[in-house]
Structure 1
Amino acid sequence: MFAAIRKSFALFALSFPVLAYSAEVVTTEQATALRAQLRVQEDSPGLRHALELSNDLRSWTAYPLSFDQEQGAWSVQADGQVAIFAASDRGDGSWSIDFETLLDDAVFLRIAPLAGPFPADSTVTEETRHLLQNLHRLGWDAERFAFGQEFPLSYNSTDNIGNGDIDQSESKDVVGDHPGVHGADFLYMIDRSWEEHFHIAAAKRAYESGAIVTFDYHWAGKYGGDYKAHPQDDTLLDYVVRNDDSRGDVTWFYESLDRILAIINDELQFPIVFRPFHEMDGNWFWWGRQMQGGADTYRQAYRLLVEYLSARTDYVLFCWSPDVALEDFEQFYPGDAYVDIVGRDIYNVTDPGRPLSKLTEMIDFAAARGKVAALTETGYARGGSFETGDPDWWTTHILDPIVADEKAGKIAWVLTWINASWSGPYIPRSTSPQAAKDDFKAFYESPATLFQSEVAALNVYAPPASE
C-alpha cells in the first residue's frame, strides 16, 4: 500500500503488519514535513520494532522504537530525524502512532519488526551482540549447556595466589580440556598487583580460545573494606541513589566503576558477561536485602550501574543472579531494560530448600521476559570435600537431574567456584580419589556438557549459524 503526496514528492511505504491511517504534508516551525499515522503492535519479549526511512526504496535507515510497559509510552531513537507527536492505545494490543519527519526530495517510511534478543546496552559491539544471540541459542537448547569454573586458568588447589600458568587447569589435568566458561572477579584485578596481571592474562587466553568469559565482583565496601555486610556500607547505595555525596559515597561509587571500566576497555577489549550485585536476596553482602532502602534501593542502584557502564563501554552483557535464600527474589529485579541474562546461585542442591527445581523457576522467569538463564554458581559446599563425601556429585546431583528435566536443560551454562588452597575443591584435581575423577570424566563425556573445545566450535562471538 502506497500513498503519494505531490509537492516535495513525499511517498509513504508500508510493510506488514502495519496499517496506514493517514499521510499528509504539514508545515512546521522548521520546514515542510510528512506526518503519518501507523498502527504498531506492542513490544513483546522477543519482538520490537523500528521505524525505517528511505529516499530510494533500496537503502533504509532504522530508528528503534521502544515501548515502556510501566508508562504506556512510546519513544523513538532518531536523533531528530523523526519524532512521535501522538500515540493512542487501540485496546487490542496495538497502538496508533503519529510520526513526523522533515521532507527531503522523497521520503518513504515503514515499520519493520525486529527479532530479539535485545542487549541492555543497544550500542554493544557486533561480537558482544553475537555472544548474546549465541547464548540464547545455547540456553534454549535443552540438550546441552556449557560448563564453567571461576578462575580455572589462574588458580589451583596447591597455590595460595595462583600459579600464573594460564595454559594449565585442574579440569584439563583430569579430563583433557578447560572449562567452556571462564569465570573471573574484578576484586582480584583491583589493588592486587601481585596477581592481577595473570588473572587478566587468563581471561584474555580464555576469550582467545573461544570460551565464554563472565565476571562477578566481590566489591569491597567503602567503610568495612570488605564485600560483607557492614553497618555503614549497608547505607552506601541509599546515598548513591539519592545522589547524596555528603559522605563522598556517590564519588566513591562512580570512581569504583571507572576502575572496572579501565580493565574492560584498556586491558580486556572483548565481550564479557558481568554479574554485579549478585545474591542480593541474602543478607551477607553489603548490597543485600538488609541494606538501607531494601529492594527499592537495590533496583535503582543496579540501573545506575548499567546506565553508567553502558555509556562508557560496548563490551558488556549484564547478568542478574539472586541466590535461593528467599522466595521473593522478584522484588529485586531491576527491569528488562537492564538485564541480558538471569541466573541463580544454588549450592548444595541436595539440601532442603535448595533443589534444582529452583533453577526451573528461574528459567520460567527468564522465558517470560525474553531472557536466557544460567546456573551461575553451584557446587558442594558443606565443609569437607565432595571427593570423599559425595564423589559422584557432578553426575548424580548436577548432570542427571538437568538431563532428566527438559526445562532444567534450558540454561546457557553451569559454573562452579574456585579450586585453590583456600577454596574447594569444587572439581577433582590430579591427586583426587579415582572415584571422583571417574565421575567428573563421565560428566565431561556426556553429550550435554560443553567444555572449552566444544564451546569454541560454536563460534559464540560470530553471527549465529543458520539452522
Structure 2
Amino acid sequence: MKFIQKILAVSLLFCSGFLLAQTAWPLSNENATPETQNLYRKLWKLLDQGIMFGHQDDLGYGVNWRMQQGRSDVKEVSGDYPAVFGWDLIHLEEHKQGPIDFFSFRDMKRMMEEVYNMGGINTVSWHTSNPLTGKSAWDNSKGAVRTILPDGENHTKYLHWLDEVAGYLLSLKGKDKKHIPILFRPFHELTGSWFWWGEGNCTPEEFRQLWVMTYHYMTENKKVNNLIWVYNTADFTTENEFMEFYPGDRYVDIISFDKYVYDNPVLTDVFVENARRQFGIMDKIAREHHKIPALAETGYEQIPYNKFWTKTLMDAVGDYKISYILAWRNHGLTSENKMHYYVPYKGHPNEQNFRDFYNLKRTLFLKEIQIENADR
C-alpha cells in the first residue's frame, strides 16, 4: 500500500520535481561523471519527497548472521532494503584484507556494486589511521594533521594512502560499466575530539587545508570524479561552531552531523531538544549555502524504547527537510559479550515500531527511490 501511495505522490510531483532538477545547485566537482551528477540532482528532488533511510554494513551482517547473500535485518523486519547503504574504508591504507573481521574489501566492493545495480545509494566514511603514530583513528594525538600537509614529514605517506583510496573507489563499477557514485564522508565528526583530525587536535586552518588538499588530490591528480563530498560534524551549539572548520562551498556538496541517543527518551527529551536545535542551525546553513542536509549517523543501541522510530527520532527531525538518516551497524554480540546493534532484527520486541516507521509517508526505502532511478 505504501509503495502505491508513493508512486501516486511522485507522479503528482513529477513536474515540480523536474523543474527542481533543472535548478538544483551544481556539484562541487564540475568534472563529476554523468552518473554522479544525476544522483546529485535526484538527491535534491527526493529532499522534497521524504527522508531516505540508511543502515551501515546492511548487506554484510546482522544480529546472529554473517555474509549471507540477500540478507538484511532491515529487509527482514520491514520487507524492504534501506535506500542508503553505509560502508567504511578503515584499514584500507594499511593494506589489510578487510575493513572488519566479517568481510573483505573485495566482498565490500561486490556489495557496493550490488547496491548500485539495484538502485540504492552508497555512502563511505574513512576511519583513517593516525599518520603520526600509526595507531587507529581514535588515537587523538595532537599535531597529526600538521604532519601530512605539504612540507610535513608524513605528507608523502598520506598521498600514498589517498592513492589506495582512489584506486578502490575507482574500481567500483556497476553492471552498466560506469563508475559508481559515492557519498564520500571523510574526517567525520570533526567537532568532536576523539579522532586525530577533530577539534582540539588541529587548528581550523589546518583542517581546512587538509580537506582542500585531499579534495584536489582526489579529483585532479587521481581523477576520482564519482564522489559527492559530505561535510560532517558531531555536536554543535551555534552556527559558528558548525562552520568553524568548513572548507568552503567550492569543496562541499552535503552537510551533515552525527548524533546518537544515550539517555532514556522516556525520562528525558535531551536528544530531541538538542537534535532539533542542531537541525535548525543546519537548515539555515543549508539554505544559505545551497547544500543538501543529512543526519549521517544516528541510533539508540539495542533500541530499548518501543517508540524510538516514530516518536523520538521523528520528533527530533521535526518539520526540517533532510536527505537521509543513517542508523549505525548491527554487529550483534561483541567480544566484550555485549549486544551492539541499532536496527531491530526479526524477533526484536520493537520491530513493530520500525514497521510503523517504514510505513510513514515521509520515509523512503529502496523500493520507493526506484521511481527516481528509472531513468538512470
**1:187 counterpart SS class:** coil
Structure 1 residue identity aligned to 2:233: P
Q: 2:124 aligns with which of 215, 233, 237?
A: 215
Larger radius of gyration: 1
Q: Is the 1:224–1:230 contact (alpha carbons within 8 Å) kept by the matching residues of 2?
A: no
In the other structure, the counterpart of 2:165 is 260
Whether 1:340 aligns to 2:253 is yes
Structure 1 residue identity aligned to 2:181: P
Whether 1:197 aligns to 2:106 is yes
What do the CA deviations read for 1:433-455 (whole angstroms, capped 9, x no partner)?
A: 1xx11100000111111111112
> How far did residue 329 of structure 1 move?
2.1
In the other structure, the counterpart of 1:351 is 270
What do the CA deviations read for 1:309-358 (whole angstroms, capped 9, x no partner)?
A: 11121101100011115541211111000000001112118436733331
Q: Which has the higher contact order (CA 8 A, sep 6+)?
A: 2
Distance in 1 (CA, whole Å) between partners of 2:247 and 2:198 is 14
Please give the residue correspondences for 1:77-88 in structure 2 after superposition, counting only pairs within 5 Å. none
**1:355 counterpart SS class:** helix
What are the ranges of 5 or more consecutive residues in structure 2 without an aligned counterpart?
1-21, 174-178
What do the CA deviations read for 1:106-132 (whole angstroms, capped 9, x no partner)?
A: xxxxxxxx9441111110111100111
Over aligned residues, Cα RMSD in angstroms? 2.0
In the other structure, the counterpart of 2:369 is 455
Structure 2 vs 1, CA of residues 318 and 461 (structure 1 numbering), >3 Å: closer, same or farther? farther
Distance in 2 (CA, whole Å) between partners of 1:165 and 1:326 is 42
**1:308 counterpart SS class:** helix
Whether 1:206 aligns to 2:115 is yes
Structure 2 residue identity aligned to 1:151: D
Structure 2 vs 1, CA of residues 188 and 460 (structure 1 numbering), >3 Å: closer, same or farther? farther
Q: Is the 2:124–2:184 contact (alpha carbons within 8 Å) kept by the matching residues of 1?
A: yes
Distance in 2 (CA, whole Å) between partners of 1:400 and 1:205 is 33
Distance in 1 (CA, whole Å) between partners of 2:306 and 2:120 is 27
Q: 2:353 aligns with which of 422, 433, 439?
A: 439
**2:41 counterpart SS class:** helix
Please give the residue correspondences for 1:111-190 in structure 2 after superposition, counting only pairs within 5 Å. 115-139=23-47, 141=48, 143-159=49-65, 163-187=66-90
Please, what TM-score do these two structures have when normalized by structure 1? Answer: 0.66
Q: Is the 2:54–2:324 contact (alpha carbons within 8 Å) kept by the matching residues of 1?
A: yes
> How far did residue 169 of structure 1 move?
0.3
Q: Is the 1:345–1:377 contact (alpha carbons within 8 Å) kept by the matching residues of 2?
A: yes
Distance in 2 (CA, whole Å) between partners of 1:325 and 1:188 is 29
Q: Is the 1:166–1:205 contact (alpha carbons within 8 Å) kept by the matching residues of 2?
A: no
Distance in 2 (CA, whole Å) between partners of 1:431 and 1:414 is 23
Distance in 2 (CA, whole Å) between partners of 1:129 and 1:119 is 7
Distance in 1 (CA, whole Å) between partners of 2:205 and 2:185 is 19
In the other structure, the counterpart of 1:376 is 296
Structure 2 vs 1, CA of residues 180 and 394 (structure 1 numbering), >3 Å: closer, same or farther? same
Whether 1:397 aligns to 2:307 is no
Structure 2 residue identity aligned to 1:344: F
Structure 2 residue identity aligned to 1:192: Q
Distance in 1 (CA, whole Å) between partners of 2:374 and 2:274 is 31
> How far did residue 299 of structure 1 move?
0.9
Q: Is the 1:278–1:322 contact (alpha carbons within 8 Å) kept by the matching residues of 2?
A: yes
Distance in 1 (CA, whole Å) between partners of 2:25 and 2:300 is 33
Structure 1 residue identity aligned to 2:188: H
Structure 2 vs 1, CA of residues 121 and 461 (structure 1 numbering), >3 Å: closer, same or farther? farther
Distance in 1 (CA, whole Å) between partners of 2:31 and 2:110 is 26
Q: Is the 1:345–1:376 contact (alpha carbons within 8 Å) kept by the matching residues of 2?
A: yes
What do the CA deviations read for 1:355-382 (whole angstroms, capped 9, x no partner)?
A: 333123112111100111111111114x
Q: Is the 1:275–1:318 contact (alpha carbons within 8 Å) kept by the matching residues of 2?
A: yes
In the other structure, the counterpart of 1:235 is 143
Structure 2 residue identity aligned to 1:391: N
> How far did residue 239 of structure 1 move?
2.4
Distance in 1 (CA, whole Å) between partners of 2:290 and 2:191 is 22
Structure 2 vs 1, CA of residues 346 and 399 (structure 1 numbering), >3 Å: closer, same or farther? same
Distance in 1 (CA, whole Å) between partners of 2:181 and 2:118 is 13
> How far did residue 229 of structure 1 move?
3.3
Distance in 2 (CA, whole Å) between partners of 1:255 and 1:302 is 16
Please give the residue correspondences for 1:279-294 in structure 2 after superposition, counting only pairs within 5 Å. 279-292=189-202, 294=203
Q: Is the 2:52–2:84 contact (alpha carbons within 8 Å) kept by the matching residues of 1?
A: yes
Q: 2:232 aligns with which of 321, 324, 327?
A: 321
What are the ranges of 5 or more consecutive residues in structure 1 without an aligned counterpart?
1-113, 463-467
Please, what TM-score do these two structures have when normalized by structure 2? Answer: 0.82
> How far did residue 398 of structure 1 move?
1.4
Distance in 2 (CA, whole Å) between partners of 1:230 and 1:411 is 31
Q: Is the 1:320–1:341 contact (alpha carbons within 8 Å) kept by the matching residues of 2?
A: yes
In the other structure, the counterpart of 2:16 is none
> How far did residue 158 of structure 1 move?
2.1
Distance in 2 (CA, whole Å) between partners of 1:209 and 1:138 is 17
Distance in 1 (CA, whole Å) between partners of 2:374 and 2:193 is 35
Structure 2 vs 1, CA of residues 202 and 302 (structure 1 numbering), >3 Å: closer, same or farther? same
Q: Is the 1:188–1:196 contact (alpha carbons within 8 Å) kept by the matching residues of 2?
A: no
Structure 2 residue identity aligned to 1:417: W
Structure 2 vs 1, CA of residues 301 and 362 (structure 1 numbering), >3 Å: closer, same or farther? same
In the other structure, the counterpart of 1:364 is 284
